[in-house]
Structure 1
Amino acid sequence: MSEQTSRFYEVILDKQYALGDLVESLTLEESLDEIAYRASVNMRLTADFPGIRPGQEIRVSGVPIGGTNMVYLLHPGVVWECENVYGSSDKLAVTIYDSTIYLAKSEDEYLFPAGQTASQRLERYASDWGITLNNFVDTAEVLRKNVYRSQPIYSMIQADLKETARKGGALYRPRMTPNGLELFEIGSAEAVWALEPNGNIESLTQRRTLEGTVTKVKVLGNESDPESATEVLAVEEADTDQFGTLQKVVLDSTLTTVSEAVKAAKGLLSGIQETFSVTSPDVNTIRAGDKVALIGSGMELIVTSVRHELGQPGKMTLELASYDYVKRRYYLDGSI
């Protein structure tokens, strides 16, 4: 980063080494498909460089838009990967994740009784992995008995949060903060940043496609006899005359009644899939799951992924979709 930029951003290694003057580029990336916030740092090496290795503690700080003091942007973080390039000028590329990466990369088995909530189960995962919880919410919806065989911890968390959404609960996402892991409700951040096509947006791409469109849903019950057809609990359809028959078959062990199956089927019906890509000056505190307003469209959209190219000025690229799209794509899709 330039000397001017380094006044607005800092990378601290092992709580003592300030690397800002060595950093040439710094990006932060996050997606609803993944749990961990990721930073990519490219830096030059000097004779007095302290050295860096995977596993070391590291954090990224920056001055938010409209602010004067630095805040943590990625903390607590861990050095995950280092790549040295040696030549006339030695370079180092470092990949950093927040500490939820351990929930994505670690596997285990769990047996959970019926009657627990996703919050209670997340408390168990966090406790077993030594992760502090912060500002923890009650997801309220009671979950069924679950036996999770060997799989990543994050896969279990996703299954718990999907079941919560399918039972009518809110949409939640684990998010690491400097004070610990919290359950963030999608779209609930107090600050809703406005994006204006003729103002702070550099480019705006709107995509509309039938890829992912569902006009007919068939919900199946639990398979009782491998040699017999599975019981059909519900069939719902809409807009087949306009878009044709695009059928989705759902096998969801949490759906045990016809009324539950009908509700789930209707929730998966969808017409044209619409998403947006936005490039604009950077707002470095925007995270995946935040809500933004697209001025002039009357739409409030959810950030499904974000890439911050930090600097003065910085740039960000956002992928955006409606709340209903996010619910279908990330919480109602797939079997659990």
Structure 2
Amino acid sequence: MTALRLAGAYDIWLEDRYAFQDLIYELTLEEALDEISYRAQATLVVSPDFPGMKPGQAVRVLGVPFGGSEQVDLLNPAVVWQCENHYERSDRLTVTMYDRTIYLAKSEDEYVFPAGMTASERIRKYADDWNIRYDRLPDTEVKLAKALYRAESIYGMMMKDLKETAKKGGPMYRPRMTVAGLELVQIGSNRVVWSLEPSENVISIMQKRTLEGAVTKVKVLGTKEAGDDAAAQVLAVEEGEIAALGTLQKIVQESSYNSVSEAKEAAHALLAGVQETISVTSLDINTIRAGDKVDLAGSGMELIAMSVRHELGDPGKMVLELGSPELVRRRYYMNESV
């Protein structure tokens, strides 16, 4: 069986020596806000002169951007992470590739940071210690509390710093790895905002509304100081749509707030009513990334791509999960998990 030829639009380069454009059978790119790394998966037809691929090798995925005419890097720098051979009527290789932020998610260290540093200052420290090049690291400005990190992933520590920044009223940032180095990208800051038109490039839309994830009451507790048997100090209590939706209470135990007013502001930001997300399947716009602002014509909403799956082809297809900036902040930056 021959490979799926994508009209010259897409290619995979291995160690900048081998090009697999004519061997690509399927190729996808996926990213989500609750995952650090951009992921590509390709199924290749193994030809007699195929050089082989193995985990650890450097790889790039290239493609002609939507509306463009020349190939650019869509995933670079990246690494071959997993290889699976399938033998039936033909020999095929399924390859999983990640951008190199995957190493930040898989590597652990420990750090003690004093109060008063910003997230960007801490990220520079991680990068310097781990010999990671960095490029655009904007000043995140918000002063963070003292932190003691023991045997945590580098990515986990980064996200705790960025979450604390957002909890204290700062912008939401996401790490991205580029050819120039590690960058911090502010959510929704993309200069080019693509418009999805239901009458033109949209295949289907599914709108979901649920009470799952709703919060109508928030109680912020300080750290315990009088032993394990003592109740924690209540710093703030905020209430929302209890009359309409019932009591759905969230407890936050947090030691990083510097004042009661700061705790109240954070508690108010956690209040959430009916959760609304929109899933859109459309013709592929292959440069949309998780965290990008997207315009859905006729929705009347400001929307952020929370996850994206590009099924690359000519034409390709993409599936986006969209949510409001407020939902993104609550779901990905105001919770405790990483």
User: What's the CA shift string for 1:280-316, capped at 9, x where partnerless?
Assistant: 0000000000000111121120000000000101000
Deviation at 1:198, TM superposition (A): 2.1
Q: TM-score, normalised by structure 1?
A: 0.97
Deviation at 1:86, TM superposition (A): 2.0
Report the number of matched residues.
335
User: Alignment partner for residue 274 of structure 2, among 272, 276, 280?
Assistant: 272
Deviation at 1:335, TM superposition (A): 7.1
Distance 1:203 1:119 in 2: 40
Residues 335/92 of structure 1: CA separation in 2 closer, same or farther (3 Å cut): closer
**Match status 1:255 vs 2:257:** yes
User: What's the CA shift string for 1:5-30, capped at 9, x where partnerless?
Assistant: 15111100011100111110000000
The 5 A counterparts of 1:174-323 are 174-224=175-225, 225-323=227-325
Q: 1:58–1:79: 8 Å Cα contact kept in structure 2? A: yes
Q: 2:203–2:282: 8 Å Cα contact kept in structure 1? A: yes
Distance 2:54 2:7 in 1: 23
Match of 2:330 in 1: 328
**2:202 match: secondary structure:** coil
**1:261 match: secondary structure:** helix
Distance 1:127 1:308 in 2: 33
The 5 A counterparts of 1:107-126 are 107-126=108-127
Distance 1:85 1:197 in 2: 39
Match of 1:159 in 2: 160
Deviation at 1:251, TM superposition (A): 0.6
Match of 1:38 in 2: 39
Distance 1:335 1:229 in 2: 23
**Match status 1:142 vs 2:143:** yes
Stretches of structure 1 lacking an aligned partner (at least 5 in a row) = none
Residues 129/146 of structure 1: CA separation in 2 closer, same or farther (3 Å cut): same
Residues 149/243 of structure 1: CA separation in 2 closer, same or farther (3 Å cut): same
**Deviates most, 27-36 or 222-231:** 222-231
Q: 2:310–2:318: 8 Å Cα contact kept in structure 1? A: yes
Deviation at 1:99, TM superposition (A): 0.4
Q: 1:251–1:335: 8 Å Cα contact kept in structure 2? A: no
**Deviates most, 195-204 or 66-75:** 195-204
Percent sequence identity over aligned pairs: 58
CA RMSD of aligned residues (A): 1.2
Residues 233/99 of structure 1: CA separation in 2 closer, same or farther (3 Å cut): same
Stretches of structure 2 lacking an aligned partner (at least 5 in a row) = none
Amino acid at match of 2:26: S
Q: TM-score, normalised by structure 2?
A: 0.97
User: What's the CA shift string for 1:70-125, capped at 9, x where partnerless?
Assistant: 11000000000001112331110000000000000111111112221111111122
**2:51 match: secondary structure:** coil
Match of 1:7 in 2: 8
